[in-house]
Amino acid sequence: MGIDDKKTENKHNPEVRLRIIVKIVALIPASGKGTRFGMPKVDASYNGISFAEMIRNTLTEARISDIYLIRDIETPDMLATLKTGMQRALHEQERPDGWLIWPVDHPTVRSSTIRMLVNVFTDKANSVIIPRHQNQNGHPILVPGALVIPEQPDPLGLKGVILKSGFPVFHIDVDDVGILFNFNTPEDVVYV
């Protein structure tokens, strides 16, 4: 859950802080077979820690506790995997304010980056927040809880769904090259 303190004017006490709380649910799509990697990436590790555990640890450090690892299901693509994860989450709880979509093959993102995304999302509700490092977009991204994945696949994947959604998109510059690290092969892990 993301929390942002903001000063507000109060006629009795100008230093009163209003706590704005947004409910963020993290979705970690990890149902791919990892053909190029030689094994499912969800089972791969970096420095002896599985990618999934690295992401969970970072999310916990960023104070996001609603985490859905979407694995061991047969879906045609990542969009279908996300739809399944959203349905599972909505079966167990109310619709969140935002979905943090974090592919399992991007495990080296810092918790400070996650907190920054949540803080920006808190200020720009119902917007898509995409991290950017040196003019390159990365992961994870934060989308509104109201985003609906259509039944029919979009040829552009999640990008197409976002473009058609009408939600404003904000690119946030971060000093975290981890948003760009996509581990597609075992060699990618060696060179980080």
Question: What secondary structure does DSSP assign to 90-149, as a single string?
Answer: HHHSPPPSEEEE--TT-TT--HHHHHHHHHHHHHSTT-EEEEEETTEE-S-EEEETT---
3-state helix, strand, coil in the chain (%, to 5): 30, 25, 45
Q: Which domains, ranges and CATH numbers included, belong to the chain?
A: 2-7+23-190 (3.90.550.10)
Total Cβ atoms within 10 A of residue 65: 11
Name the band, by pLDDT with cuts 50, 70 and 90, for residue 6: very low
**Angstrom distance (rounded) from CA 136 to CA 128:** 16
**b/e for 88-116, b at 16 or more Cβ within 10 A?**
ebeeeeeebbbbbbbbbbbbbbbbebbbb
Mean predicted confidence (pLDDT) in 168-189: 87
Total Cβ atoms within 10 A of residue 155: 7
Q: What is the pTM of this model?
A: 0.86
Q: In this structure, are residues 95 and 143 in contact, taking their beta carbons and an 8 Å threshold?
A: no
What is the CA angle 41-45-46, rounded to 5?
125
Residue 116 has φ and ψ, to the nearest 5°, of -65, -45
- Of 1-10, 81-90, 123-132, 157-166, least confident by mean pLDDT is 1-10
Residues 150-159: pLDDT tens digits?
988 899 999 9
Going by C-alpha positions, the residue among 50, 57, 102 that lies closest to residue 81 is: 102
pLDDT at residue 19 in the model: 52
ω before 14 within 30° of 0 (cis)? no
pLDDT at 164 over 80: yes
pLDDT at residue 84 in the model: 95
